[in-house]
Amino acid sequence: MELTNYLYLSVVLFALGATTVLLRRNTIVVFMGIELMLNATNLALVTFARMHGDVTGQVLAFFVMVVAAAEVVVGLAIIVTIFRARRSASVDDVNLLKS
Amino acid sequence: MTTQTLSLAPWLVATPLIGAALLLLIGRRGDRWGHWLGVLASTATFVIGLVILLDMLGVDAEQRVATSSVGTWIDAGPLTVDLGFQLDPLSMTFVMLVTFVGTLIHVYSVAYMSHDHDRRRFFAYLNLFVAAMLLLVLADNYLLLFVGWEGVGLASYLLIGFWDHHLPNAVAGKKAFLMNRVGDMGLIVAMMLMLATFGALDFGTVLGSADAADQGLNTAIGLMLLLAACGKSAQLPLQAWLGDAMAGPTPVSALIHAATMVTAGVYLLVRSGPLLEAAPDAQLVIAIVGALTLLFGAVVGCAKDDIKKALAASTMSQIGYMMLAAGLGPIGYAFAIFHLVTHGFFKAGLFLGAGSVMHGMDDDVDMRRFGGLWRLLPVTWITMGFGWLAILGVPPFSGFWSKDKIIEAAFVGEGWRPWVFGTVALVGAGITAYYMSRLFFMTFAGRRRWSADGADGTVERHPHESPLLMTVPMVVLALGSVGLGWVLAAGDGFVHWLEPVTGHAEHDEPVLAVPVIIGLTLTLVVVGAALAWVQYATRAVPTTAPPAPALVRAARVDLHQDDVNETLVMRPGQYLTRSMVFADRTAVDAGWLGLAGGVGRLGSWLRGWQSGYARQYAAITLGGLGVIVLVIWLVATTAG
């Protein structure tokens, strides 16, 4: 099977994730979009590793998984805390970062 | 000379320096006896000088020039400067003049400054001055001389502004300091040129190899030395500070601004004689500067009513004589120094006399409020009288022996020079007689323009003779004014004494016969003195300056010397600095401030983009990613 197809799949998944992040207001859904982008990147990394016959890409994918796991823990905790404080899960309600 | 004597040389400088340091460090604890320590240090220096002098007199003329080095001061590759002292007839002449007159003035100051609560500090500065002056004349290289040169400048500054609680005195000190800096630059440039030309700064090397050097360079060095001498000796065009320097206490005017420091310029030129002889153009300029200053000081002296400023103008004029002599070459060197020594005595005596008059007249200096003082201040009258006769050049007083020789030397030569310089010197002698007689008669003769009870609108004064501590130094200096010239001139003794340094000068005949010159000089002197007698002793002297012709009005304000300096130097300088400040603000500062402002405005504009919406940030990030991808794609396609 042509390896390029995996890349196409990766691009599609990344685009879906990015669109989710940009268009949806619900924090949980935005979070899922980010996860989707991370996994799309992992797929691309593994594919490149296979293309070049080099394990570096696979090792990097493992790193991404570990970071993603940690990020899920911290990110969900933040989301829950914000929800408790503001009774809202909309990202647009959290705009205190502006100058 | 023996090595023991040579090893004494550094102590000439060290003794007064230790005195000054002790007096300054001991503080108020020494107020009661500090002035006697100052006198002791000065006297001890005189004794050391006398020992060296006696030893020098005991050896043959050829062996009288010696150097004694304490060690190496600066060792910088090709340049080595020794902490060396030059003992020869010229430096010893100065040592004796400075320490003898200096000690007398120290004694005088004990009484003169007795009511000043800063008397100890005054003596510290006087000792500092003696140390610096001796370093100046004893140094065996130009760099060490420069240290003394700056030292006397510092002492002069400190003493002119000694009563600095009165603003004009502080300003006068600053003026002297600044104008002297101009001259100092001349000396620094001269040293740089010497270093570049001769590779050394000691007198032996520089003066010994001047003959072989390029004449243009010698002229440049000579002119720079002249600039230095003009600053220190108050010669045109750097003469304006001397009149204001009279703001200092009178003993300072006598010691520093009449007898010793202001003659340092003449010393410098005579010391550099061999170099100047290799630069005839520089010599000519020196003689012209001397001749001009001679007339300038004499004209100013005729119109001054302030007794000290009249004496200051006279000092300027007499140093003009010395400079003229120094510019005449070997024939004039010995007479320049001779006149310097006799002038040191009679002018110091005149200044101390002026101080004594001020002491009795409540520190008044305006001669228009003096008059008829001879009966009340007999000692001052007689001692100043001797000084007056000496500066007039009346035989056999000391000024006759020295000034007349300069006039004769000015008449020696070929072409236009002897006629011009000789005439100027001759006319100067006549004007000198007029203004010094004016000063003398206005003070001591004529009707009293003061009274004991202040009646008839006159000022109330109670003149009294000064104490012995003041009159004894005046008497000693008066004796010098009477006899010193005759003693030193006997058998051309002083000229032969200086020959190891100044070289032997052939006696050329003046363009006029010597008796004719002497006759003309004495005639002019008598005419000048008689004019002053008629005008200021027989007629009533107005107590305020009367309306006068333009020249007199100009002379009253020093021939507009301050206006000239302000127009030519001060104001253009101020405009220059102001335009520099303006350029700095409008161009340099504005550029950098504009840059900073631009960065700030860019930041404010970018800050508007910070909405706080996470999705917008994500969109911008994605857009950035898109741009990066686009750029990579473009680069890849064009390169591929």
Q: pLDDT-based confidence at B5, cuts 50/70/90?
A: confident
What confidence score (pLDDT) does residue A99 get? Answer: 47
Measure the CA–CA gap between B66 and B57, rounded to whole angstroms: 13
Residues of B in contact with A30 (CB under 8 A): 614-615
Give the model confidence (pLDDT) of B373-428 as tens digits: 888 889 999 999 999 999 998 888 998 988 988 999 999 888 888 899 999 999 99
Residues of A in contact with B613 (CB under 8 A): 91-92, 95, 98
Q: Are B153 and B174 in contact (CB under 8 A)?
A: no
Handedness of CA B390, B554, B443, B164 (dihedral sign): negative
Q: Which residue of chain A comes nearest to B619, CA vs CA?
A: A22
Which value, to the nearest 10 degrees, does the dihedral of the CA atoms of residues B295, B298, B303, B306 take?
Answer: 140
Q: Quick one: tokens of B14? A: 């060290």
Q: Does B611 touch chain A (CB under 8 A)?
A: yes
* Burial class of residue B343 in the structure, from the number of CB atoms within 10 Å of its CB (0-12 exposed, 13-18 middle, 19+ buried): buried
Kindly report each contact of residues A26-30 with a partner whose C-beta sits within 8 Å and lies 24 or more positions away, as own/partner: A26/A89, A26/A90, A26/A91, A27/A79, A27/A82, A27/A83, A27/A89, A27/A90, A27/A91, A28/A79, A28/A89, A30/A91, A30/B614, A30/B615
Nearest to B610 among A21, A94, A98 (CB): A98
Give the model confidence (pLDDT) of B287-335 as tens digits: 999 999 999 999 999 998 999 999 999 999 999 999 999 998 888 898 9
Nearest to A95 among B607, B613, B618 (CB): B613
Mean pLDDT value of segment A24-29: 90
Residue A54 neighbours by CB under 8 Å, 6+ apart = none
Q: Do A22 and B610 touch (CB under 8 A)?
A: no
Give the model confidence (pLDDT) of B78-107 as tens digits: 888 888 899 989 999 999 999 999 999 999
Kindly report each contact of residues B446-453 with a partner whose C-beta sits within 8 Å and lies 24 or more positions away, as own/partner: B446/B371, B446/B372, B446/B536, B446/B537, B446/B538, B446/B540, B446/B541, B447/B371, B447/B372, B447/B540, B447/B541, B448/B371, B448/B372, B448/B373, B449/B368, B449/B369, B449/B370, B449/B371, B449/B541, B449/B543, B450/B361, B450/B369, B450/B370, B450/B371
Residues of A in contact with B612 (CB under 8 A): 94-98
Distance from CA of A24 to the nearest CA of B (A): 9
Q: What is the DSSP string of B384-406?
A: HHHHHHHHHT-TTSHHHHHHHHH
Measure the CA–CA gap between B542 and B539, rounded to whole angstroms: 9
* Cross-strand pairs, B75: B80
Optimal mutation site among B611, B621, B625, B629, interface A, most CBs of chain A within 10 A: B611
Distance from CA of A16 to the nearest CA of B (A): 13
In the stretch 29-68 of chain A, residues with CB closer than 8 A to chain B read: 30
Distance from CA of B582 to the nearest CA of A (A): 39
Residue B450: half-sphere exposure toward Cβ, Cα within 13 Å: 24
What confidence score (pLDDT) does residue B30 get? Answer: 84
Q: Do B612 and A96 touch (CB under 8 A)?
A: yes
Q: pLDDT-based confidence at B155, cuts 50/70/90?
A: very high
* Burial class of residue A26 in the structure, from the number of CB atoms within 10 Å of its CB (0-12 exposed, 13-18 middle, 19+ buried): middle
- Of the candidates B507, B85, B90, B488, which has an alpha carbon nearest to the alpha carbon of residue B274? B90
Q: Identify the residue with better confidence: B60 or B345.
A: B345
What confidence score (pLDDT) does residue A98 get? Answer: 62
Q: Which residue of chain B comes nearest to A21, CA vs CA?
A: B615
Q: Does B603 touch chain A (CB under 8 A)?
A: no
Amino acid found at B48: I
Q: Quick one: tokens of B10? A: 């550094």
Mean pLDDT value of segment B455-466: 83
Q: Do A22 and B613 touch (CB under 8 A)?
A: no
Residue B124 neighbours by CB under 8 Å, 6+ apart = B19, B20, B23, B24, B34, B38
Mean pLDDT value of segment B165-178: 91
* Cross-strand pairs, B79: B76
- Of the candidates B409, B420, B433, which has an alpha carbon nearest to the alpha carbon of residue B532? B433
Distance from CA of B566 to the nearest CA of A (A): 60
Distance from CA of B621 to the nearest CA of A (A): 11
Helix (H, G, I), strand (E, B) or coil at B451: strand
What confidence score (pLDDT) does residue B500 get? Answer: 84
Q: What is the DSSP string of B93-161?
A: HHHHHHHHHHHHHHHHHHHHTTT-TTHHHHHHHHHHHHHHHHHHHHBSBHHHHHHHHHHHHHHHHHHHT
Q: Do A21 and B615 touch (CB under 8 A)?
A: yes
Q: Do A22 and B622 touch (CB under 8 A)?
A: yes
Q: pLDDT-based confidence at A97, cuts 50/70/90?
A: low
Instruction: Please name the helix (run of DSSP H) or strand (run of DSSP E) that holds residue A19, with its range, or none.
Output: helix A4-23
The lowest-confidence range among A23-37, B42-56, B266-280, B481-495 is B481-495
Q: Which residue of chain A comes nearest to B615, CA vs CA?
A: A22
Q: Do B618 and A21 touch (CB under 8 A)?
A: yes
Q: Do A18 and B614 touch (CB under 8 A)?
A: no
Q: Quick one: tokens of B231? A: 């600053």
Mean pLDDT value of segment B133-146: 93
Whether the pLDDT of residue B161 is over 80: the answer is: yes
Give the model confidence (pLDDT) of B7-18 as tens digits: 888 999 999 999
Q: In terms of pTM, does the model score above 0.90?
A: no
Q: Quick one: tokens of B96? A: 């004796």
Q: Quick one: tokens of B456? A: 């008839």
Q: Do B611 and A98 touch (CB under 8 A)?
A: yes
Q: Do B612 and A30 touch (CB under 8 A)?
A: no
Residues of A in contact with B618 (CB under 8 A): 18, 21-22
**Residue whose structure tokens are 């408790």:** A84
Residues of B in contact with A28 (CB under 8 A): none
- Of the candidates B313, B284, B566, which has an alpha carbon nearest to the alpha carbon of residue B431? B313
Q: Are B230 and B236 in contact (CB under 8 A)?
A: yes
Q: Do A99 and B622 touch (CB under 8 A)?
A: no
Q: pLDDT-based confidence at B123, cuts 50/70/90?
A: very high
Residue A38, phi-psi category: left (phi > 0), alpha (psi -120 to 50), beta (remainder):
alpha
Distance from CA of A73 to the nearest CA of B (A): 19
Q: Does A21 touch chain B (CB under 8 A)?
A: yes
Measure the CA–CA gap between B326 and B11, rounded to whole angstroms: 30
Q: Which domains does chain A have, with CATH numbers?
A: 3-89 (1.10.287.3510)
Nearest to A22 among B607, B610, B618 (CB): B618
Residues of B in contact with A36 (CB under 8 A): none
> Where would I find the H helices in B199-249?
203-208, 215-233, 241-244
Measure the CA–CA gap between B252 and B101, rounded to whole angstroms: 12
* Burial class of residue B413 in the structure, from the number of CB atoms within 10 Å of its CB (0-12 exposed, 13-18 middle, 19+ buried): buried
Handedness of CA B253, B255, B261, B262 (dihedral sign): positive
The lowest-confidence range among A29-43, B140-154, B454-468 is B454-468
Measure the CA–CA gap between B179 and B190, rounded to whole angstroms: 18
Q: Do A94 and B614 touch (CB under 8 A)?
A: yes
Q: Do A92 and B615 touch (CB under 8 A)?
A: yes
Residues of B in contact with A25 (CB under 8 A): 615
Other C-beta atoms closer than 10 Å to the C-beta of B556 total 15
Residues of B in contact with A18 (CB under 8 A): 618, 622
Measure the CA–CA gap between B492 and B485, rounded to whole angstroms: 11
Of all residues in chain B, what percent carry a pLDDT higher than 90?
Answer: 55
Q: Which residue of chain B comes nearest to A15, CA vs CA?
A: B622
- The overall average pLDDT reported for chain B is 90
Q: Which residue of chain A comes nearest to B620, CA vs CA?
A: A22
Q: How far is CA B96 from CA B10, B482, B612, in A?
A: 15, 18, 91
Measure the CA–CA gap between B442 and B399, rounded to whole angstroms: 22
Regarding an ipTM greater than 0.90, the answer is: no
On the question of a cis peptide bond just before residue B168, with omega within 30 degrees of 0, the verdict is: no
Nearest to A91 among B607, B611, B615 (CB): B615
- Of the candidates B127, B122, B138, which has an alpha carbon nearest to the alpha carbon of residue B68? B138
Other C-beta atoms closer than 10 Å to the C-beta of B447 total 11
Q: What is the DSSP string of B597-624?
A: HHHHHHHHHHHTT----HHHHHHHHHHH
Q: Which residue of chain A comes nearest to B622, CA vs CA?
A: A18
Measure the CA–CA gap between A57 and B16, rounded to whole angstroms: 89
Pairing of strands B66-76, B79-87: antiparallel
**Residue whose structure tokens are 């204001």:** B244
Q: How far is CA A81 from CA A26, A31, A76, A77, B617, in A?
A: 15, 15, 9, 6, 22
Residues of A in contact with B615 (CB under 8 A): 21-22, 25, 30, 91-92
Optimal mutation site among B604, B613, B622, interface A, most CBs of chain A within 10 A: B613
Nearest to A22 among B610, B611, B619 (CB): B619
Nearest to A99 among B610, B615, B622 (CB): B610
What confidence score (pLDDT) does residue B640 get? Answer: 65
C-alpha Rg value of chain A to the nearest Å: 16
Give the model confidence (pLDDT) of B591-614 as tens digits: 999 999 999 999 999 888 788 788
Q: Do A22 and B615 touch (CB under 8 A)?
A: yes
